[in-house]
Structure 1
């Protein structure tokens, strides 16, 4: 049934959300993680490669008349600006037309823009397609995070979200190692190696696109938009696969929800939800995104420049150092993720932000004292980013689960765009200026600004973070379409199904 054929305007009582949340972890869930989560690996590859090849691109013979400062400053800012615009543009469409339709389209946009970056023949072409690559990635953030949260059981949502968002750093490891090969002029010419790195990103995106075809639309989204038969078919199919794998019937779902089906919500309703109904949660989301966006977009884009400028690390060797801190970044969400579902969101979110900020202040002090080498600076960054990475990933988790379902993608897009615009656009521009001066005090200042924003965000989380661990999305934030109670006039329908362990719904 298409969206146009959806039967909205009805009141439906269903247990579909409860049926999804009570599922044990299975092979089917791994297909979701692989199909949707692997795109962050591409994002990590993109950002890291650009940072590491900045020095090579600025050299004569690279094929582009561009400076290192333009790459780590303007090009980085354009990529982030594209991501911000893309998040807002695609986020609205994701809430209106569905998760699957949009996470397919945005990946195609990313794929095409990355491929065209590889054939850049002038500075303006390179800048334009860096913007469009970010435009595609921004849409991915909104579509993917909303789809993942709506498909993953409540008991696993925190750790899965963190690990998926943290997989960005697997791409960063790959990008670092790839840049080592690409920058080796014994293997590739100066104007060839960097192009191949972008081309590889496009090839990987094509593979992910083929895998992603098998990921279903969110049953929660279908249900609210009047396509409950499709939602029922998808959930029943998932239950059958899980029961066959586990060899035993599933537990009976424990709750139902009554909703008034409709196609979309207005911008006025979205604004009222964010700035009136959930004002404190909006402050939380904004704080978390500004802190992590400034830290990551400001520092990681310029890490290679710091190594070459202050420690005389050869351009071709910066990838080794970045690979080390990228591994530390991925280990944070991987090892701490489970604690977000057990210890709880408030303790872990505030704790990771505060610890990373404090450790970064310490790193800034050591750097100022001249006590660090390239190796020990990298070790300090590993410690900082072990906690910061878990905290940054929890920012996406937070805004994707604490607002009503009808505004989920737009909420993710809004906070991502707002926080990243504040920290991600101004950050690279400011940091490029500070590191290019070659003055230790200027780089220390940049470290301190990032650290201060992380600590501030941690303090906000200590007071405002929502205890969302192991709770249904509908319990954390009641859908805008939810009815006060089941309508007495409703009639028996099919949205609950007749599977063992499920109860019928009324429609």
Structure 2
């Protein structure tokens, strides 16, 4: 790295700097260092899945006499769910702005602490307002996680692996959902735990797991891409050089030469006005794409899927304590989708895979609605249908996060993730539970069919938008997909002296 202005190690200094850090990060082979990134940052989605699924499955228990709370099942799946999502939207915007301004590492530590603290206090709920308050604050923390972590992951993972890693990490939410579903079976068993204790211990267990993740996350570094743009070029150089030495020692061979370098005007912060102008002025088609993908998946998941337990108890007389088995099955389908399809997003390509996963999930859900309306489904066959729908929908939903985190300039990345997550999730995740809680719990078949059809229609619409507007970002550098706002010049290939190895 060469600079026309001096830099001090640690404090930010601005100037014009030429660097090959992005190219060096993208040409790295997969290593133990990358596994540390995945484990340290990605595992929080497991906690999120555990949290949300547990609440959905214990809704019936919380409404029973003796639970320790005066609350109805509809309030848990409707009001509390909407407040959780509202908190997530607010947290995404607040922490997303801070993440672009102060760095990825500081914020993904802060957001996890907020999330864990609110979860612990949820376990101590003694009345409905306390429960609602800390559901909102739990969502506030997890919304910040989405912005800070997705931006950090995309900036640290090599281009050739970025798609599959991002999808699998976001899909790991459903590993937590499996755990939450199975855990609720044990915690709702009154022969093991009293009615007013089991659900509290479930939240407490989530806190314990989160503390373990916090310890691992301490070792995850700041994004070198964020560092060199924000006047910490020497820190970025030192970090990437140390990673290269570690990987060369692990692989037993030298790394290939980096192929390009970039010259940028460093800046300490980016104004919100410039971010908005960039996202909507320079990239309007990408903005439409992001909104379509987020709104479609948010309605499907927040409005319908998380009411699955209520559908089972209302239409198939499945006892409250038994819904966890069914939910564990559809959660497995959700995780297997990104796991098996993720590589195709890097090989077949983003446009084909995003469009096809959205369209296939929507069409399969239309088929499920038709069968449900005819009375042709049992609890088991409905679950099988949902597995097929969600196998594709989960990969598509995860690709929404991937898309908005890679198609906008680096300086706007966390805020772009936050904005599209907040707006799309507000449309589907706040209004959805409030509207569909009544539809899925009414006991009227036509109401639930309508809920299915709305979700299916929005997924198909998003798939059509992706077919025309999706960006072919597979195996491309982030700086190639969207040129940084600070860029002054890009050259390729880089001179041998700039390879850093």
Q: TM-score, normalised by structure 2?
A: 0.97
Partner of 2:445: 440
Are the equivalent residues in 2 in contact too, given 1:16–1:496 (CA < 8 A)?
no
Equivalent position to 1:294, from 275, 295, 299: 299
Partner of 1:173: 178
- Determine the C-alpha separation between the residues in 2 that align with 1:467 and 1:43: 30
Are the equivalent residues in 1 in contact too, given 2:9–2:234 (CA < 8 A)?
no
Partner of 1:502: 500
Partner of 2:96: 91
Partner of 1:453: 458
**CA deviation after TM superposition for structure 1 residue 428, in Å:** 0.7
Equivalent position to 1:18, from 5, 18, 23: 23
- Determine the C-alpha separation between the residues in 1 that align with 2:231 and 2:339: 38
- Determine the C-alpha separation between the residues in 1 that align with 2:127 and 2:305: 25
Structure 1: tracts of 5 or more residues without a match: 487-494
Structure 2: tracts of 5 or more residues without a match: 1-6
- Say whether residues 1:154 and 2:159 are aligned partners: yes
Partner of 1:362: 367
Q: What does 1:179-194 correspond to in 2, within 5 Å?
A: 179-194=184-199
RMSD: 1.5
- Determine the C-alpha separation between the residues in 1 that align with 2:495 and 2:331: 45
Which of structure 1's runs of 4+ aligned residues deviate more than 4 A?
A: 1-4, 495-499
- Determine the C-alpha separation between the residues in 1 that align with 2:430 and 2:202: 24
- Secondary structure in 1 aligned to 2:487? coil
- Determine the C-alpha separation between the residues in 2 that align with 1:48 and 1:431: 17
Deviation digits for residues 18-60 of structure 1 (CA, Å, limit 9, x no counterpart): 0000000011100000000000001100110000000011000
- Determine the C-alpha separation between the residues in 1 that align with 2:13 and 2:456: 51
- Say whether residues 1:33 and 2:38 are aligned partners: yes
Are the equivalent residues in 1 in contact too, given 2:61–2:188 (CA < 8 A)?
yes
**CA deviation after TM superposition for structure 1 residue 275, in Å:** 1.0
Partner of 1:402: 407
- Say whether residues 1:114 and 2:119 are aligned partners: yes
Equivalent position to 1:476, from 464, 477, 481: 481
Are the equivalent residues in 1 in contact too, given 2:82–2:429 (CA < 8 A)?
yes
Specify whether residues 178 and 497 from structure 1 end up closer, same or farther in structure 2 by C-alpha distance, changes over 3 A only: farther
- Secondary structure in 2 aligned to 1:69? helix
- Determine the C-alpha separation between the residues in 1 that align with 2:303 and 2:326: 17
- Determine the C-alpha separation between the residues in 1 that align with 2:180 and 2:384: 19
Partner of 1:249: 254
**CA deviation after TM superposition for structure 1 residue 274, in Å:** 1.2
Partner of 2:3: none
In terms of mean alpha carbon deviation, does 428-437 or 470-479 score higher? 428-437
Equivalent position to 2:106, from 101, 107, 112: 101
**CA deviation after TM superposition for structure 1 residue 459, in Å:** 0.1
- Secondary structure in 1 aligned to 2:488? coil
| Aligned residue-pair number | 493
- Determine the C-alpha separation between the residues in 1 that align with 2:41 and 2:251: 24
Equivalent position to 1:331, from 336, 340, 356: 336
- Determine the C-alpha separation between the residues in 2 that align with 1:301 and 1:399: 24
Partner of 2:13: 7
Partner of 1:492: none
Q: What does 1:259-274 correspond to in 2, within 5 Å?
A: 259-274=264-279
- Determine the C-alpha separation between the residues in 1 that align with 2:450 and 2:8: 54
- Determine the C-alpha separation between the residues in 2 that align with 1:3 and 1:414: 33
Are the equivalent residues in 2 in contact too, given 1:232–1:496 (CA < 8 A)?
no
Are the equivalent residues in 1 in contact too, given 2:18–2:262 (CA < 8 A)?
yes
Are the equivalent residues in 1 in contact too, given 2:241–2:500 (CA < 8 A)?
no
Are the equivalent residues in 2 in contact too, given 1:236–1:497 (CA < 8 A)?
no
